[in-house]
Amino acid sequence: MSTSVLSSDQIRTAVAEELQAAQFIDIHTHLYKASLGPIGLWGIDELITYHYLEAELFRFSDITPGQYFNLSKTAKADLIWKTLFLDNTPLSEATRGVIAVLNAFNLPTSGDLTEARAFFASRNLADHTREVFRLAGISEAVMTNDPLDPDPLFRPVLRLDRILNKWDQHWHILQAKGFDVHADGSGRTMAEVRRFLEGWVELMNPVYMAVSLPDTFAYPEPSLRVRFLRESVLPICLARSIPMSLMIGVRYLVNPELKLAGDGVGKADLRAVERICLDFPENRFFISLLSRENQHELCVYARKFANLLPFGCWWFLNNPSVVEEMTRERLEMLGTSFIPQHSDARVLEQVIYKWRNTRRTLTPILAASYQNLREDGRSVTRDDIRRDINRLFRSNFENFILPAKAHVCPHDQAL
């Protein structure tokens, strides 16, 4: 316990120390646990060929995407390394992140990749994963797809993009598995998709369900996607007390040639979020939006709907200049009732720099909030800071995924 009151000039140090000491839960990643074998991405060649860096390569090099994607993984990494890290200064968020990972393992940040490749090749993945989580200061990461065996470092999510966004390309897979479904959603399709998902919920025990949605997402609308949400997905989420994560604002493949790096961003109409929260007041929604222009109104909606939990500075927003603006407006409008960040890591070691950057960016923002509070007349202790950081990076998530408790009014308890 530390109830000692902090002076103004002690606050920032206390915030930095408490952020450093806290173990975060990373609620949205594209990582896979070691026991799954070779499907998880890790090591220097995967770090350097991250699709964020591929997008940056094409701005500095005259190689075409067609020529680039025909190269071997090693050749791609060598080209990106030379172009973005040697011939130019790695000043972007994604290039600086690779430097931070190399530095974390005392590897050279200039010259060629020989020593880095030898280092990562020497690592045992299970041990390496634990070391990476330790360096990142995270106790667990939530994956987008689950394998079937429990692992304390990784927790599962049931990702629904193919059902909700690409039913026309995937309905036949369910039909081949014996589910009575149809391309047009007719007949018993909705009930059968619910049965399919209930089977996966039984198998995976997901902490939440998730879907990425386009900037044009509308609700209500006479679409199969909305019918699946209303008739199949959200009823299961309610019955099993599983939150639904809606990540809205993607303009898919604005440049198809760039493949995974080809997606863009668009401002969404948040009346869809408003209506879903109203229509499903017992369901709980993690909401992350891709457009900077949607962020302030998301804070307003979070003030209207307690079943809406804003999370993260997603994808193109995960840069200090935007993270600062989003986090400040969330603190001002929501206090600590939101989840500031997730890593969205695709390559294991990215959690090291993504979480270091989060701590570095949030320290002055949180410190300023406490200093304002102190100037307004309420003292601040290290216990306050520790409790608030735990809420921001752990218990807001943990409480949201717990089965909904019956609300007991203080008056009732007194009776």
Is 137 in contact with 360 (CB distance < 8 Å)? no
Tokens representing residue 152 in the block:
């304390």
Is 212 or 294 the residue whose CB approaches ligand HDL more closely?
A: 212
105, 200, 305, 315: which one contacts ligand HDL (CB under 6 A)?
315
Q: In 3-state terms, what secondary structure has residue 401?
A: helix
Contact 128, 42 (CB under 8 A): yes
Residue closer to ligand HDL (CB basis): 183 or 260: 260
263 binds Zn ion (CB under 5 A): no
Binding residues among 325-354 for ligand HDL as defined by CB under 6 A: 344, 346
Q: Which amino acid is at 204?
A: M
With CB atoms as reference, the residue minimizing the distance to Zn ion is: 344
Within residues 21-60, the interface with ligand HDL by CB under 6 A covers 30
Q: Of 18, 140, 344, 349, which lies in the binding site for Zn ion, with binding defined by CB under 5 A?
A: 344
Structure tokens at 235: 């009823």
**CA angle 227-146-139, nearest 5°?**
120
Residues 6+ apart with CB under 8 A from 287: 245, 246, 247, 248, 273, 298, 301, 302, 308, 309, 310, 311
Tokens of 45: 């060649």
Locate 214 and state its tokens: 């386009």
Min dist CB 344 to Zn ion, Å, is 4
107 near 119, Cβ under 8 Å? Answer: yes
343 binds, among ligand HDL, Zn ion, none (CB under 5 to 8 A by kind): none
Identity of the residue, 248 or 331, whose beta carbon is nearer to ligand HDL in the bound complex: 248
Binding mask 190-229 for ligand HDL (x = CB under 6 A): ----------------------x-----------------
Nearest to ligand HDL of 75, 260 (CB atom): 260
Report whether 211 contacts 245 (CB < 8 A). yes
Nearest approach, Cβ of 373 to ligand HDL (angstroms)?
Answer: 33
Q: Which residues contact 67 (CB under 8 A, 6 or more apart)?
A: none
Distance, in Å, from the CA atom of 143 to the CA atom of 30, rounded to the nearest integer, reads 6
Comparing CB distances to Zn ion, the nearer of 166 and 182 is 166
Nearest CA to 280 out of 225, 337, 223, 241 is that of: 241
Q: How far apart are CB 250 and ligand HDL at their closest, in Å?
A: 7
Q: Which does 315 bind (CB under 5 to 8 A by kind): ligand HDL, Zn ion, none?
A: ligand HDL
| 132 vs 246, beta carbon nearer ligand HDL | 246
Binding mask 260-279 for ligand HDL (x = CB under 6 A): x-------------------
Beta bridge partners of 279: none
CB of residue 30 to ligand HDL, shortest distance in Å: 6
Cis peptide before 156 (omega within 30 of 0): no
Positions that interact with Zn ion (CB under 5 A): 344
Positions that interact with ligand HDL (CB under 6 A): 30, 212, 247, 260, 315, 344, 346
